[in-house]
């Protein structure tokens, strides 16, 4: 899978990405491949990561400080863990020009918007975002230009957001191959609790349960991993810092969905206990149809990394 050809003219002058992991490095690669910005700027708090970004050549400039990075920036995208958003916003706040757009890629939006609004000055457009894309890998080497191709990027602008600023950010994500949708921060956090956060929590838990099961050795768990458990381990291999922050910052929605899941799990346990085959068959048939629908709309294939080539 490839991106569309480079633009004849950049969409903006200076695009800054702070935090160069999987998502941040993929933004740099996607924007660079299509010449979406006159200057691509990268910053990461880790000196080793900054050095690696320079070696990879995926940014025009690798800034030494947040202040240097955001000077004269048109759009700044924060790709740091959710729990670090406030500190990142505080570090760049005095150095942003009026009219700059500040966004992010965190999978929690309510807590992020509160953190950004607490630190960023008047005259800066705060438009939280979340590209619903990724792999279990992390770091600057993990990114690839087609990561966002045919994925959804959700924007959660406040009610008083400037329409032109929202349009500019939408245009950037669209040019990187994403489908863009807007919604409220509250709705986003509930949707992602059921589609992402609780599934990750279940994956972490089942892998931990298997590792702690005294009757089964850890070597047997690894050796005899069937498809279901193997898929759980892929999810459970995701970045621990990121997911710790996700659960701490989306507690209300996660607990609400987890409560409903627990009730449904108890009902399923009862059906197994009482050999209620009809109920099991009905549930499995309904969930199978959901899986087919996900494949039909192009949000999954059987191939690694959703069938996308790195580049």
Q: Which range in 6-20, 128-142, 216-230 is most confidently predicted, on average pLDDT?
A: 6-20
Mean pLDDT on 108-127: 97
> Is the predicted pLDDT of residue 231 greater than 90, yes or no?
no
Tokens (6 digits) for 192: 């992602």
Is residue 221 classed exposed, middle or buried when 0-12, 13-18 and 19+ CB atoms within 10 A define those classes? middle
* pLDDT, average across residues 225-242: 80
Residue 213 pLDDT: 73
Say what the pLDDT of residue 215 is: 67
Q: Please tell us whether the domain made up of 12-183 is placed in CATH 3.30.470.20.
A: no
CA–CA distance from 39 to each of 10, 35, 72, 88, 96 (Å)? 9, 9, 11, 21, 16
Residue 159's pLDDT is 95
* Position with higher pLDDT, 45 vs 293: 45
- The proportion of the chain whose per-residue pLDDT surpasses 70, expressed as a percent, equals 91
Q: What pLDDT, on the 0 to 100 scale, is given for residue 208?
A: 83
The mean pLDDT value for 75-96 works out to: 97
What is the rounded average pLDDT of the residues 285-303? 71
pLDDT band for 302, please (50, 70, 90 cuts).
Answer: very low
Q: What is the pLDDT of residue 293?
A: 76
201 has a pLDDT exceeding 50 = yes
Lowest mean pLDDT among 57-71, 222-236, 251-265: 222-236
- pLDDT, mean over the chain: 90
The domain spans of the chain are 12-183, 188-274
Distances (CA, A) of 268 to 204, 260, 265, 281: 21, 12, 5, 11
Pairing mode, strands 129-132 and 152-155: antiparallel
DSSP state of 304: G
Strand order in the sheet with 179-182: 129-132, 152-155, 179-182
Please report which confidence band the pLDDT of residue 216 belongs to, taking 50, 70 and 90 as the band edges.
low
Polymer length of the chain: 311
Under the banding of pLDDT at 50, 70 and 90, the label for residue 310 is very low
Residues 6+ apart with CB under 8 A from 230: none
At 214, is the pLDDT very low, low, confident or very high (cuts 50, 70, 90)?
Answer: low
CATH 1.10.3660.10 assigned to domain 188-274? The reply is yes
Structure confidence at residue 264 (pLDDT) = 93
Report residue 68: phi and psi, to 5°. -65, -40
């Amino acid at each position: 899978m490839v991106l569309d050809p480079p633009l004849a003219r950049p969409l903006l002058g200076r695009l800054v990405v702070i935090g160069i992991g999987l998502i941040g490095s993929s933004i740099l690669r996607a924007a660079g491949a299509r010449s979406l910005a006159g200057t691509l700027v990268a910053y990461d708090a880790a000196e080793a990561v900054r050095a690696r970004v320079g070696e990879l050549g995926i940014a025009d400039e690798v800034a030494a400080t947040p202040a240097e990075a955001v000077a004269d920036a048109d759009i700044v995208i924060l790709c740091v863990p959710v729990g670090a958003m406030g500190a990142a916003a505080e570090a760049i706040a005095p150095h942003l020009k009026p009219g700059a757009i500040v966004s992010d890629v965190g999978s929690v939006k309510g807590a992020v918007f509160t953190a950004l609004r607490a630190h960023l000055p008047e005259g800066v457009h705060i438009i939280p975002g979340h590209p619903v894309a990724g792999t279990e890998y992390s770091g600057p080497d993990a990114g690839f230009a087609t990561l966002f191709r045919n994925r959804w990027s959700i924007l959660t602008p406040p009610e008083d957001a400037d329409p032109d600023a929202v349009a500019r950010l939408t245009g950037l994500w669209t040019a990187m191959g994403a489908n863009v949708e807007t919604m409220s921060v509250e709705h986003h956090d509930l949707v992602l609790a059921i589609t992402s956060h609780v599934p990750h929590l279940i994956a972490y838990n089942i892998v931990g349960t298997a590792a702690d099961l005294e009757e089964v050795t850890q070597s047997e768990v690894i050796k005899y991993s069937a498809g279901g458990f193997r898929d759980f381990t892929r999810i459970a291999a995701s970045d621990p810092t990121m997911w710790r922050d996700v659960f701490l910052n989306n507690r209300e929605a996660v607990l609400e969905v987890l409560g409903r899941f627990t009730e449904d799990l108890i009902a399923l346990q009862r059906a197994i206990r009482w050999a209620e085959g009809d109920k099991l068959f009905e549930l499995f048939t309904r969930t199978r149809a959901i899986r087919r629908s996900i494949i039909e709309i192009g949000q999954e294939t059987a191939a690694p990394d959703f069938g996308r080539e790195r580049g």
